[in-house]
Structure 1
Amino acid sequence: MPSLTILLFLFFSKFSAASDTITQYGSLEEDKTLVSNNGIFELGFFTPSTTSSNRYLGIWYTNIPLRTVVWVANRESPITDNSTKLSINSQGDLVLSHSNTVIWSTNTTTTTGVLVVAQILDSGNLVLRDDKDTNPENYFWQSFDYPSDTFLPGMKIGWDLKKGLNRGLTAWKNWDDPSPGDFTGFISQTSYPEEVMWKGSTKFYRSGPWDGTKLSGSPTLSNSVVSYTIVSNKDEFYATYSTNDSSVISRLVLNQTLYLRQRLTWNNDGKTWRVSSQLPSDLCDGYNICGAFGICDVSKAPMCRCLDGFKPKAPQNWTQMNFHEGCVHNQTWSCMDKTKDGFLRFANVKTPETTFSWVNASMTLEECKNKCRENCSCKAYANSDITGEGSGCVIWLGDLLDIRIMANAGQDLYVRLAVSETENRHGNDHSKRKVVVFASTICSAIVILLISIFIYWSSKRKTKVKGMENESQEEDFEQPLFDLASVEHATNYFSNHNKLGEGGFGQVYRGTLPDGREIAVKRLSQTSTQGLKEFKNEVMLCAQLQHRNLVKVLGCCIQHNEKLLLYEYMANKSLDFFLFDSSGRKLLDWPKRHRIINGIARGLQYLHQDSRLRIIHRDLKASNVLLDDKMNPKISDFGLARMCGDDQIEGQTNKVVGTYGYMSPEYAFDGIFSTKSDVFSFGVLLLEIVSGKKNRLFHPNDYNNLIDHAWGLWREGNAIQFIDSSLEDSSILNEALRCIHIGLLCVQHHPNERPNMDLVITMLNNENILPLPKEPSYLIKDILTSRKSSCKSLASFSVNNVTISMLSDR
């Protein structure tokens, strides 16, 4: 009996000295922790937030002040009291129990008579092993085989057929709830493995298969921070990585809130985690964006097109940026005579979905081609390994899904077509020369014809319409001209009773024409900062613009000293009348706001891409969006708009005009305007619509402006707090959060990091993955505290000087 007491004392002493280990004769209580040998990781009980009463057993970094949990044992079985303990039972299982009730267990079978210990390692791995055997190959159990949401250095993600393991990541359900969310990532157990991320039962990202050097859709696995290793054989396929600098703390996490996989690196100076990379990285990373036989190219607009030799299955949907039905062969394809099938090479692509693929590592590419031709179900082939000159064979059976262009990456894919289709694309040089000569002749004839038409049109326009009475200059406004007397009669001689609002350029009046049509008349004041040039600009632009989401100009009047524009009357005033009024915004439920957002986006898309000339509005804001009787939005006020050629993407001006708070940084400071400066204004307006708040200075101790406010909440995972409280009963949460995300993408500092309006519309109306925005640097505090050389130009940003019209009561 004394010897047993001494033995127990020795074991307890061992536990006390070795704080990284539990033996079968010890336990870990609620108020205790285990710390790895070099103090890197800690195992213990934690509560995820101050608002939660649930407790969990987890592992976190010891010396990082923000408790960052990397593994949780009892994700689905939270603890609700403080009387739980972790121990090793007599069978050698690591058990989390409360009053003899097992909450979680490793369910491990060990050899009897072996002293089992549990140890937390400096890698963050919790292992169950023989007390005398530290060989990792002999561990009875390890937490690295059962990851939570975090991929740590040294961990394996993938499958092992001998051990019956398929290691993958599952996101937390929420930032304060570690129970499994619906966002998962695993390596597919197919003959041609690849990483697949799921949202519930729906795929939303695919890495592309391993091509011998990389995953074909992930060209940069290793970088200056980490080095990846892929192991592939008949028994297992897994990825692992290590850090290139032992002082760097880096982890990879699946984030349920952002639907992203992020690599985070600890910044010790700033005491924060910084995102160093993320997947999906752009819209083309979303799974099967372009449908069967479609190909995605993020550098193009629209980003989807059909593979050569194919056409949209539902063309009417493609015009609405809905590509999911994919493409079909241009002509009826038959497999009756396989010898007449050709193959067209597509270079630098992420190869298709591998679920229905077949692989032979010993075949040559020519043998692979013949193998594909033998099978009517085969639609494409490629090398399975691109190392060196390439080797092996993979063929795809059935529809080709989820293909994208990979700039300077990817591999060659050979797609099966009718031989006539391949001949059309690979004709001989002689036929090409004939085509060039013929095209040159046609182009010359077209140029001569266009010059003739231009000369004829120029001579005609000089006699078309002359200015009235006191106007001596000749004008062609391409708009119906109204005489002053009829406009005065329609507006009751511009009475205050008919006045709708006013701004820096004059007043707006309501009127009724003799035929009963209600109109809004914009009357340019004699002292207005919008001179004759801006007035002509608005008249001529509006004559060319016809779109359901642009306000319609009915005509104009230039007589005596009056300059008048006649618009269709908008019964529901302007958007700001509702949005920034405490009672008015309650009338804008979420379906109305979402429809307004889409309408404004479609109007801008028309201006930027579909109108006869590329139009940059330069003054998009809530007061310049009018609402008709059905609350449909119509963009108005084109006095500051600029026309560009089809191939012109930006311009520059010495006179910066617009509205402070909506201007992009490159326009406000450098006078550079482009379609992307309109996108910035749209982003601000989008954030205003979601929040019901105006973009202005907040309390000095709070946020600087609305952009800063949105970014702060989004970064913290609390974007839901940004949504207008009056939308609680009507908002579709996912749509509103998605709009905040899109708004932040639109207000990125650099123009090339903002989406174009085509992509904005696609993002608004699909559930595809969104790229991760960077922190917006264009905040009001930046303008007030930097670039002092621009102070003189900033002085011209007075509201009275830059606002075309501020519509109020109608």
Structure 2
Amino acid sequence: MQALRRLFVCSLLISFIRISTTTALDTISPSRSMRDGETLISAGGNFQLGFFSPGTSKGRYLGIWYSVHTETVVWVANRETPLGDSSGVLKVTEQGLLVLLNSTNRIVWSSNSSTTAGNPVSQLMDSGNLVVKDGNETNPVNLLWQSFDYPCDTFLPEMKLGWDLVTGLERYLSSWRSTEDPAPGEFSSRMDRRGFPQVVTMKGAKIMSRPGSWNGLHFTGYPYNPQTQASPTLEYEIVLNKDEVYYEYRLLNTSMFSRYVLNPSGTAHQFTWVYQTHSWELSSAVQADQCQNYALCGAYTSCSVNVSPICACLKGFVPKSPKDWNSGYWSDGCVRKIPLACSSGDGFLNYTGVKLPDTSSSWYDKSMSLKECNGLCLNNCSCTAYANLDIREGGTGCLLWFGNLTDMTQFTSGGGQDLYIRMAASELDGIERKSTFKKKKLPIILIGSAVFLVWFIIGLILYIRKRKLRNQGVTKDYLGEDREDMELPLFDLSTLAKATNDFSSSNKLGEGGFGPVYKGTLIGGKEIAVKRLSKNSGQGTIEFKNEVILIARLQHRNLVKLLGCCVQEEEKILIYEFMPNKSLDFFIFDQEGQKLLDWPTCFHIIGGIARGLLYLHQDSRLRIIHRDLKASNVLLDNDMIPKISDFGLAKTFGSDQSRGNTNRVVGTYGYMSPEYAIDGIFSMKSDVFSFGVILLEMLSRKKNRGFSHPDHHLNLLGHAWTLWIQDKQLELIDTTLYDSCNISEVLRCLHVGLLCVQRVPEDRPNMSYVVLMLSSDITLPPPKQPGFYTERSVPESPSRNRPFSVNYFSTTVIEAR
């Protein structure tokens, strides 16, 4: 009996030991480490963590793999620092850091958590996520660190691909260098935040493919059949809010395994585990056909693998280079047969079943209707197309495109979405006539045209009457004949006084040579910036009229929008859209602001400024030279989209004019080009010089004017040039950009900046070439010595009056918005 009792006790003890061992297999702590040869197994047995050597490699890596197929590695810790032997140890420190040690106890890899815990543990979850947390914490969200924040080449369910906007963390896939080397390769899949966020696959800094924008149900670049999606196994979602922008998918059947892999050749595959065959089944391949190659056919084209040739111009467009097009080189794309007339009767042509174009130069709103979207696009001269943001429940939201439309695919059976492309009215009439004659429905068109004409005449009469009433009592003499062409709303002085609390000092945003600027709130909650000409100012009247006349005719997402003006009771006031993030100089010259401006945002801003200048120089109805481009005149909206402001000093050029000359040099020293500051000669290349200064200031986080260095007395341009010729370019880059920067992008921007500030205007690139250099990997020419190589005074000619600011303020600057 006693023997049986002993046996029973022993059995209980062994069972307890087994249970304790089993429950501890998924966790390590400061008192329990894991050595090479041991593994952690997730609680449900889905995944294992341990050491491995890929293929014939002799290096040892710490990784996570599937229990059902140990050769399928989904995550690697020490991707670039393999261990040379089997002496590796994984530990959790008392501070909550996960560290990998080699035979000499040197750390070869560690987690980067900055938060500590009283009882830190590391646990392998059944999702494949390796986490570090406080062992006393019951909330699964409160983690010190997780491997899901640092993906390798595999995208797992519940993993996020995108951005944490609070911390600036980007989660993206990067391919292995080869099948036996898990070090990061040259391909990556990430979330592009420009415009409406989209997933892209890149080779270095170049986009290779994109699945198309997400429309609530699917990516528009993939074939889609609702009938085959009746019983889905995966659920997809893109999350857009003020804290996060990411794409993820979840398993609706938790007993299955699914994974996306970006392989070393840049192809993305989706695999599903098949239990019957104990193997992975290929579910989809992103690079399934030639049309998946990014922008294969160029701008304003559609690609279709079911026709030959696969590239075709959209209706109303013709090949830009017919000779190249006919030879099978389609990358130059197509151009319009008839230019847009903007407010003179443009319309939209509906394309069905297309992969929506690249959204990097788009704008979106989640709540607008398609009808409101149509009106918004029609009223913006730069808008080239629109579509529903979300097609569920009949369609909601608005997606607008600005600039060229690229990377479109035409689907013949399932997939894609409706897209409405802007066309000149005469072009639409021609397309509609062809379609009508083919279908023999000419009477319907004639009746519709007659009805449209009647309504158009009625609308025109009402518009003229309303405009005439609105202009009554307004000081038309001040703006002269230009007022008739501006269609600019006129604000009542009492309305502005109420919006700004009677121009209260508490509403004051800043003040420049023009006068003070106030924040205002109209009835209904719309926020505005009110720029008021100071009555005591000896300057500004000419600038005020200039700005009203010019900017009222400009519409571009990278130019600040003028909402209206007021010229009552001797007041001269401009009303702008309110920019909550103030101006660019705050972010690049302020220590606190610098922390908020990471490299992806910086690069996005650089591109936006360049596109805004290109519009002024080439694409607007007027050719405009800004003459006072600087960091404080670049405003940032809520999404950090840059908008060029302050057109008080701007000049218009004729189509055949290349430069101008003035006896009154005004602007901001430090940004002015040499030929303008010394001789009063200005041109588009003057703005290019200013852009180059801004670019170098953004990289260095230093002002050109007043820059100092212990080794020399050069200004910022001279310092950058010295580092360039000494092949020490990276020394110019401020340390705040190190953690987030893409080295190839940074070096290209530095190169472009030096090209823009070259001393001779003819050596500087025009803005169309600047945009091309920033957005592609073309070979760049070597830069020459910059203008104002050293800090020096500008010689004053007795025949010229050249008021310019030496303290970084121009005559029309608005410092805060």
If the length of structure 2 is used for normalisation, what is the TM-score?
Answer: 0.49
Larger radius of gyration: 1
If the length of structure 1 is used for normalisation, what is the TM-score?
Answer: 0.49
